[in-house]
Chains A and B, each alone.
Chain A
Protein backbone atom coordinates (compact mmCIF):
# COMPACT_ATOMS: atom_id res chain seq x y z
CA UNK A 1 0.00 0.00 0.00
CA UNK A 2 1.25 3.44 -0.97
CA UNK A 3 -0.24 5.35 1.93
CA UNK A 4 1.85 8.49 1.57
CA UNK A 5 -0.54 10.22 -0.82
CA UNK A 6 -3.80 11.87 0.17
CA UNK A 7 -5.58 12.30 -3.13
CA UNK A 8 -8.59 14.50 -3.92
CA UNK A 9 -10.56 13.44 -7.01
CA UNK A 10 -12.73 16.20 -8.53
CA UNK A 11 -15.31 15.29 -11.19
CA UNK A 12 -18.97 16.23 -11.57
CA UNK A 13 -19.94 12.69 -12.63
CA UNK A 14 -20.20 10.33 -9.66
CA UNK A 15 -19.60 7.31 -11.93
CA UNK A 16 -16.25 8.73 -13.01
CA UNK A 17 -15.28 9.50 -9.39
CA UNK A 18 -16.03 5.88 -8.47
CA UNK A 19 -14.00 4.59 -11.41
CA UNK A 20 -10.97 6.72 -10.52
CA UNK A 21 -11.28 5.89 -6.81
CA UNK A 22 -11.42 2.14 -7.54
CA UNK A 23 -8.44 2.33 -9.88
CA UNK A 24 -6.46 4.30 -7.31
CA UNK A 25 -7.27 1.67 -4.68
CA UNK A 26 -6.05 -1.02 -7.09
CA UNK A 27 -2.83 1.00 -7.53
CA UNK A 28 -2.36 1.02 -3.75
CA UNK A 29 -3.62 4.50 -2.93
CA UNK A 30 -6.00 4.03 -0.01
CA UNK A 31 -6.56 7.65 0.97
CA UNK A 32 -8.82 9.08 -1.72
CA UNK A 33 -11.53 11.75 -1.22
CA UNK A 34 -14.03 13.20 -3.68
CA UNK A 35 -15.50 16.55 -4.70
CA UNK A 36 -17.94 17.36 -7.51
CA UNK A 37 -16.50 20.67 -8.73
CA UNK A 38 -13.96 23.38 -7.96
CA UNK A 39 -16.25 25.19 -5.53
CA UNK A 40 -16.54 22.16 -3.27
CA UNK A 41 -12.95 21.06 -3.85
CA UNK A 42 -11.22 24.31 -2.89
CA UNK A 43 -12.42 24.46 0.76
CA UNK A 44 -11.54 20.76 1.15
CA UNK A 45 -8.05 21.40 -0.22
CA UNK A 46 -7.56 24.42 2.06
CA UNK A 47 -8.75 22.66 5.19
CA UNK A 48 -7.39 19.16 4.52
CA UNK A 49 -3.95 17.67 4.17
CA UNK A 50 -4.19 16.59 0.55
CA UNK A 51 -0.97 16.28 -1.42
CA UNK A 52 -2.25 15.24 -4.86
CA UNK A 53 -5.14 16.59 -6.93
CA UNK A 54 -6.85 14.82 -9.85
CA UNK A 55 -9.42 17.04 -11.55
CA UNK A 56 -11.78 17.07 -14.50
CA UNK A 57 -11.99 20.26 -16.60
CA UNK A 58 -15.63 20.70 -17.72
CA UNK A 59 -17.74 20.99 -14.57
CA UNK A 60 -20.67 23.20 -13.58
CA UNK A 61 -19.77 25.71 -10.91
CA UNK A 62 -16.00 26.13 -10.88
CA UNK A 63 -14.33 24.32 -13.81
CA UNK A 64 -11.05 22.44 -13.42
CA UNK A 65 -8.89 25.09 -15.08
CA UNK A 66 -10.10 27.73 -12.62
CA UNK A 67 -9.51 25.31 -9.73
CA UNK A 68 -5.95 24.75 -10.99
CA UNK A 69 -5.35 28.53 -11.15
CA UNK A 70 -6.73 29.01 -7.63
CA UNK A 71 -4.54 26.21 -6.30
CA UNK A 72 -1.46 27.72 -7.94
CA UNK A 73 -2.35 31.17 -6.53
CA UNK A 74 -2.64 29.82 -2.97
CA UNK A 75 0.51 30.13 -0.85
CA UNK A 76 0.02 26.79 0.94
CA UNK A 77 -1.40 24.75 -1.97
CA UNK A 78 0.69 26.35 -4.75
CA UNK A 79 3.15 23.48 -5.22
CA UNK A 80 0.58 20.65 -5.09
CA UNK A 81 0.85 18.19 -8.01
CA UNK A 82 -2.23 18.47 -10.22
CA UNK A 83 -3.24 15.88 -12.80
CA UNK A 84 -5.96 16.94 -15.25
CA UNK A 85 -8.15 13.96 -16.24
CA UNK A 86 -10.58 15.21 -18.85
CA UNK A 87 -12.33 14.73 -22.18
CA UNK A 88 -11.23 18.22 -23.28
CA UNK A 89 -9.11 17.45 -26.33
CA UNK A 90 -8.43 20.79 -28.02
CA UNK A 91 -4.74 21.51 -28.43
CA UNK A 92 -5.06 25.12 -27.23
CA UNK A 93 -6.76 23.87 -24.05
CA UNK A 94 -3.85 21.57 -23.27
CA UNK A 95 -1.45 24.47 -23.86
CA UNK A 96 -3.57 26.65 -21.56
CA UNK A 97 -3.52 23.96 -18.83
CA UNK A 98 0.27 23.70 -19.10
CA UNK A 99 0.58 27.49 -18.86
CA UNK A 100 -1.64 27.41 -15.76
CA UNK A 101 0.79 24.93 -14.17
CA UNK A 102 -0.72 21.46 -14.65
CA UNK A 103 1.66 18.56 -13.93
CA UNK A 104 0.00 15.92 -16.10
CA UNK A 105 -2.83 15.63 -18.61
CA UNK A 106 -4.80 12.42 -19.20
CA UNK A 107 -7.46 12.31 -21.87
CA UNK A 108 -10.73 10.39 -21.39
CA UNK A 109 -11.41 7.58 -22.12
CA UNK A 110 -8.25 6.41 -20.37
CA UNK A 111 -6.71 3.16 -19.14
CA UNK A 112 -5.57 2.11 -15.67
CA UNK A 113 -2.02 1.83 -17.04
CA UNK A 114 -2.08 5.46 -18.27
CA UNK A 115 -3.32 6.72 -14.90
CA UNK A 116 -0.61 4.79 -13.07
CA UNK A 117 2.08 5.95 -15.50
CA UNK A 118 1.18 9.65 -15.12
CA UNK A 119 0.95 9.55 -11.32
CA UNK A 120 4.27 7.67 -11.10
CA UNK A 121 5.88 10.18 -13.49
CA UNK A 122 4.70 13.19 -11.49
CA UNK A 123 5.83 11.65 -8.20
CA UNK A 124 9.21 10.66 -9.69
CA UNK A 125 9.85 14.19 -10.96
CA UNK A 126 8.85 15.55 -7.53
CA UNK A 127 11.25 13.17 -5.81
CA UNK A 128 14.06 14.16 -8.19
CA UNK A 129 13.47 17.91 -7.70
Chain B
Protein backbone atom coordinates (compact mmCIF):
# COMPACT_ATOMS: atom_id res chain seq x y z
CA UNK B 1 0.00 0.00 0.00
CA UNK B 2 2.77 2.38 0.92
CA UNK B 3 4.15 2.45 -2.61
CA UNK B 4 0.96 4.25 -3.75
CA UNK B 5 1.15 7.08 -1.12
CA UNK B 6 3.37 9.52 -3.09
CA UNK B 7 1.20 9.16 -6.22
CA UNK B 8 -2.08 9.60 -4.34
CA UNK B 9 -0.66 12.70 -2.56
CA UNK B 10 0.53 14.13 -5.92
CA UNK B 11 -2.88 13.52 -7.51
CA UNK B 12 -4.64 15.16 -4.50
CA UNK B 13 -2.38 18.22 -4.68
CA UNK B 14 -2.81 18.51 -8.52
CA UNK B 15 -6.57 18.29 -8.02
CA UNK B 16 -6.49 20.98 -5.31
CA UNK B 17 -4.55 23.45 -7.49
CA UNK B 18 -6.41 22.45 -10.70
CA UNK B 19 -3.27 21.23 -12.57
CA UNK B 20 -4.42 18.58 -15.10
CA UNK B 21 -0.87 17.81 -16.38
CA UNK B 22 0.47 17.14 -12.90
CA UNK B 23 -2.64 15.04 -12.14
CA UNK B 24 -2.10 13.01 -15.37
CA UNK B 25 1.58 12.39 -14.56
CA UNK B 26 0.70 11.28 -11.00
CA UNK B 27 -2.00 8.97 -12.39
CA UNK B 28 0.51 7.31 -14.80
CA UNK B 29 2.91 6.85 -11.87
CA UNK B 30 0.14 5.29 -9.76
CA UNK B 31 -0.75 2.90 -12.61
CA UNK B 32 2.90 1.79 -13.01
CA UNK B 33 3.20 1.13 -9.29
CA UNK B 34 0.04 -0.96 -9.38
CA UNK B 35 1.24 -2.98 -12.43
CA UNK B 36 4.61 -3.65 -10.82
CA UNK B 37 2.81 -5.06 -7.80
CA UNK B 38 0.58 -7.31 -9.92
CA UNK B 39 3.57 -8.56 -11.96
CA UNK B 40 5.42 -9.44 -8.78
CA UNK B 41 2.40 -11.32 -7.44
CA UNK B 42 2.01 -13.23 -10.74
CA UNK B 43 5.70 -14.16 -10.62
CA UNK B 44 5.30 -15.49 -7.07
CA UNK B 45 2.23 -17.53 -8.06
CA UNK B 46 4.05 -18.95 -11.13
CA UNK B 47 7.07 -19.87 -9.05
CA UNK B 48 4.87 -21.59 -6.47
CA UNK B 49 3.04 -23.44 -9.25
CA UNK B 50 6.29 -24.62 -10.79
CA UNK B 51 7.47 -25.95 -7.42
CA UNK B 52 4.14 -27.68 -6.89
CA UNK B 53 4.30 -29.26 -10.35
CA UNK B 54 7.79 -30.53 -9.70
CA UNK B 55 6.74 -32.02 -6.37
CA UNK B 56 3.74 -33.55 -8.08
CA UNK B 57 6.01 -35.14 -10.72
CA UNK B 58 8.29 -36.67 -8.08
CA UNK B 59 5.29 -37.63 -5.94
CA UNK B 60 3.52 -39.39 -8.84
CA UNK B 61 6.75 -41.23 -9.65
CA UNK B 62 7.12 -42.32 -6.04
CA UNK B 63 3.46 -43.34 -5.91
CA UNK B 64 3.91 -45.47 -9.03
CA UNK B 65 7.08 -47.01 -7.57
CA UNK B 66 5.42 -47.68 -4.22
CA UNK B 67 2.08 -48.94 -5.57
CA UNK B 68 3.18 -50.99 -8.56
CA UNK B 69 6.87 -51.47 -9.07
CA UNK B 70 7.93 -52.30 -5.50
CA UNK B 71 5.20 -54.99 -5.09
CA UNK B 72 6.22 -56.31 -8.55
CA UNK B 73 9.83 -56.46 -7.36
CA UNK B 74 8.70 -58.43 -4.30
CA UNK B 75 6.95 -60.95 -6.60
CA UNK B 76 10.05 -61.07 -8.78
CA UNK B 77 12.36 -61.79 -5.85
CA UNK B 78 9.96 -64.43 -4.53
CA UNK B 79 10.08 -66.03 -8.00
CA UNK B 80 13.91 -65.97 -7.91
CA UNK B 81 13.76 -67.73 -4.55
CA UNK B 82 11.48 -70.39 -6.05
CA UNK B 83 13.69 -70.77 -9.15
CA UNK B 84 16.84 -71.28 -7.09
CA UNK B 85 15.03 -73.62 -4.67
CA UNK B 86 13.59 -75.73 -7.51
CA UNK B 87 16.95 -75.88 -9.31
CA UNK B 88 18.83 -76.91 -6.15
CA UNK B 89 16.29 -79.64 -5.36
CA UNK B 90 16.19 -80.92 -8.95
CA UNK B 91 20.00 -81.07 -9.05
CA UNK B 92 20.12 -82.96 -5.73
CA UNK B 93 17.36 -85.34 -6.88
CA UNK B 94 19.37 -86.18 -9.99
CA UNK B 95 22.61 -86.64 -8.02
CA UNK B 96 20.77 -88.89 -5.51
CA UNK B 97 19.52 -91.00 -8.41
CA UNK B 98 23.06 -91.33 -9.80
CA UNK B 99 24.80 -92.26 -6.54
CA UNK B 100 23.20 -95.74 -6.05
CA UNK B 101 23.84 -96.57 -9.72
CA UNK B 102 27.53 -95.70 -9.34
CA UNK B 103 27.72 -97.64 -6.03
CA UNK B 104 26.12 -100.70 -7.64
CA UNK B 105 28.57 -100.70 -10.55
CA UNK B 106 31.53 -100.21 -8.19
CA UNK B 107 30.43 -103.11 -5.92
CA UNK B 108 29.82 -105.47 -8.84
CA UNK B 109 33.23 -104.58 -10.28
CA UNK B 110 34.89 -105.28 -6.91
CA UNK B 111 33.12 -108.68 -6.67
CA UNK B 112 34.30 -109.58 -10.18
CA UNK B 113 37.88 -108.56 -9.39
CA UNK B 114 37.77 -110.79 -6.29
CA UNK B 115 36.25 -113.67 -8.26
CA UNK B 116 38.94 -113.39 -10.95
CA UNK B 117 41.60 -114.04 -8.32
CA UNK B 118 39.90 -117.18 -6.95
CA UNK B 119 40.70 -120.77 -8.00
CA UNK B 120 37.06 -121.57 -8.85
CA UNK B 121 36.14 -122.59 -12.43
CA UNK B 122 36.02 -119.58 -14.85
CA UNK B 123 32.69 -120.37 -16.53
CA UNK B 124 30.40 -118.65 -13.93
CA UNK B 125 32.64 -115.54 -14.03
CA UNK B 126 32.05 -115.18 -17.74
CA UNK B 127 28.31 -115.06 -17.13
CA UNK B 128 28.80 -112.57 -14.30
CA UNK B 129 30.95 -110.35 -16.52
CA UNK B 130 28.27 -110.40 -19.20
CA UNK B 131 25.62 -109.40 -16.67
CA UNK B 132 27.89 -106.71 -15.24
CA UNK B 133 28.52 -105.16 -18.65
CA UNK B 134 24.80 -105.14 -19.39
CA UNK B 135 24.11 -103.49 -16.04
CA UNK B 136 26.95 -100.98 -16.55
CA UNK B 137 25.60 -99.96 -19.97
CA UNK B 138 22.10 -99.34 -18.57
CA UNK B 139 23.34 -97.52 -15.46
CA UNK B 140 25.82 -95.33 -17.32
CA UNK B 141 23.10 -94.31 -19.83
CA UNK B 142 20.92 -93.23 -16.89
CA UNK B 143 23.85 -91.36 -15.28
CA UNK B 144 24.62 -89.62 -18.58
CA UNK B 145 20.98 -88.56 -18.99
CA UNK B 146 20.89 -87.22 -15.42
CA UNK B 147 24.12 -85.29 -15.96
CA UNK B 148 22.62 -83.62 -19.05
CA UNK B 149 19.61 -82.62 -17.00
CA UNK B 150 21.82 -81.26 -14.19
CA UNK B 151 23.48 -79.11 -16.84
CA UNK B 152 20.15 -77.78 -18.15
CA UNK B 153 18.93 -77.12 -14.62
CA UNK B 154 21.73 -74.54 -14.22
CA UNK B 155 19.73 -72.33 -16.61
CA UNK B 156 18.05 -70.91 -13.50
CA UNK B 157 21.12 -68.70 -13.05
CA UNK B 158 20.40 -66.86 -16.31
CA UNK B 159 16.69 -66.37 -15.52
CA UNK B 160 17.21 -65.33 -11.89
CA UNK B 161 20.11 -63.07 -12.93
CA UNK B 162 17.92 -61.18 -15.39
CA UNK B 163 15.23 -60.70 -12.73
CA UNK B 164 17.76 -59.50 -10.13
CA UNK B 165 19.15 -56.98 -12.64
CA UNK B 166 15.68 -55.53 -13.21
CA UNK B 167 15.14 -55.23 -9.43
CA UNK B 168 18.53 -53.47 -9.16
CA UNK B 169 17.37 -51.00 -11.84
CA UNK B 170 14.21 -50.37 -9.79
CA UNK B 171 16.25 -49.72 -6.62
CA UNK B 172 18.33 -47.22 -8.66
CA UNK B 173 15.18 -45.45 -9.82
CA UNK B 174 13.75 -45.39 -6.29
CA UNK B 175 16.99 -43.92 -4.98
CA UNK B 176 16.93 -41.14 -7.60
CA UNK B 177 13.26 -40.29 -6.95
CA UNK B 178 13.83 -40.13 -3.19
CA UNK B 179 16.95 -38.02 -3.78
CA UNK B 180 14.89 -35.52 -5.79
CA UNK B 181 12.26 -35.40 -3.08
CA UNK B 182 14.89 -34.72 -0.43
CA UNK B 183 16.45 -31.97 -2.59
CA UNK B 184 13.07 -30.31 -3.21
CA UNK B 185 12.13 -30.52 0.47
CA UNK B 186 15.55 -29.14 1.47
CA UNK B 187 15.33 -26.25 -1.00
CA UNK B 188 11.90 -25.16 0.33
CA UNK B 189 8.68 -24.31 -1.48
CA UNK B 190 10.08 -21.09 -3.01
CA UNK B 191 13.04 -22.78 -4.70
CA UNK B 192 11.11 -24.11 -7.65
CA UNK B 193 13.20 -22.35 -10.27
CA UNK B 194 16.33 -24.51 -10.12
CA UNK B 195 17.04 -25.30 -13.77
CA UNK B 196 19.51 -28.07 -12.90
CA UNK B 197 16.85 -30.01 -11.00
CA UNK B 198 14.48 -29.63 -13.94
CA UNK B 199 17.02 -31.17 -16.28
CA UNK B 200 17.68 -34.07 -13.90
CA UNK B 201 13.99 -34.82 -13.50
CA UNK B 202 13.51 -34.88 -17.27
CA UNK B 203 16.41 -37.26 -17.76
CA UNK B 204 15.05 -39.60 -15.10
CA UNK B 205 11.62 -39.79 -16.64
CA UNK B 206 13.30 -40.59 -19.95
CA UNK B 207 15.30 -43.37 -18.33
CA UNK B 208 12.17 -44.65 -16.63
CA UNK B 209 10.23 -44.95 -19.86
CA UNK B 210 13.25 -46.47 -21.58
CA UNK B 211 13.51 -49.35 -19.11
CA UNK B 212 10.35 -50.93 -20.50
CA UNK B 213 11.55 -50.68 -24.11
CA UNK B 214 10.61 -53.72 -26.20
CA UNK B 215 13.77 -53.56 -28.31
CA UNK B 216 15.95 -54.07 -25.22
CA UNK B 217 13.70 -56.75 -23.73
CA UNK B 218 11.59 -57.10 -20.59
CA UNK B 219 13.32 -60.08 -18.96
CA UNK B 220 11.69 -63.35 -17.93
CA UNK B 221 7.95 -63.49 -17.42
CA UNK B 222 7.21 -63.66 -13.68
CA UNK B 223 3.94 -65.14 -12.41
CA UNK B 224 1.83 -62.45 -10.73
CA UNK B 225 3.63 -59.58 -12.46
CA UNK B 226 1.65 -58.18 -15.37
CA UNK B 227 3.72 -57.26 -18.43
CA UNK B 228 0.96 -57.66 -21.02
CA UNK B 229 0.00 -60.70 -23.08
CA UNK B 230 2.72 -63.33 -22.83
CA UNK B 231 3.18 -66.93 -23.97
CA UNK B 232 3.14 -69.65 -21.30
CA UNK B 233 5.65 -72.02 -22.84
CA UNK B 234 7.20 -73.41 -26.00
CA UNK B 235 3.88 -74.80 -27.24
CA UNK B 236 2.35 -71.29 -27.15
CA UNK B 237 5.38 -69.94 -29.04
CA UNK B 238 5.06 -72.65 -31.69
CA UNK B 239 1.32 -71.95 -32.06
CA UNK B 240 1.98 -68.22 -32.46
CA UNK B 241 4.74 -68.83 -35.00
CA UNK B 242 2.42 -71.15 -36.87
CA UNK B 243 -0.28 -68.45 -36.91
CA UNK B 244 2.32 -66.06 -38.31
CA UNK B 245 3.03 -68.50 -41.15
CA UNK B 246 6.31 -69.98 -39.90
Which residues of A line the B interface, CB within 8 A?
A: 11, 13, 15-16, 18-19, 22-23, 26, 57-59, 63-66, 86-96, 98, 105-112, 114
Contacts and interface: CB of A to CB of B under 8 A. Distances in A.
A107 to B, nearest CB: 5
Given A26-B148, A63-B215, A87-B221, A94 B237 contact: yes
Given A59-B217, A110-B234, 13 more contacts: A11-B158, A13-B157, A19-B151, A19-B155, A23-B148, A63-B217, A64-B217, A65-B215, A87-B162, A90-B214, A91-B231, A94-B237, A105-B241
Interface of B, helix, strand, loop or mixed by DSSP: loop
A18 B182 CA distance: 46
Interface of B: 148, 151-152, 154-159, 161-162, 214-221, 227-234, 237, 240-241, 244, 246
A59 B219 CA distance: 9
Contact of B155 (A16, A58, A114): A16
Contacts of A22: 148, 151
7 contacts: A11-B158, A19-B154, A22-B148, A58-B219, A63-B215, A66-B215, A93-B217
Contacts of A58: 162, 216-219
Across chains A and B, which 9 residue pairs bring their CB atoms closest together, nearest first? A58-B217, A87-B220, A89-B221, A16-B158, A13-B158, A89-B230, A15-B157, A57-B217, A91-B229
Contacts of B148: 22-23, 26, 112
Given A95-B244, A106-B234, A112-B152, A90 B228 contact: yes
B216 to A, nearest CB: 5
A120 B162 CA distance: 29
A36 B69 CA distance: 29
Nearest to A111: B152
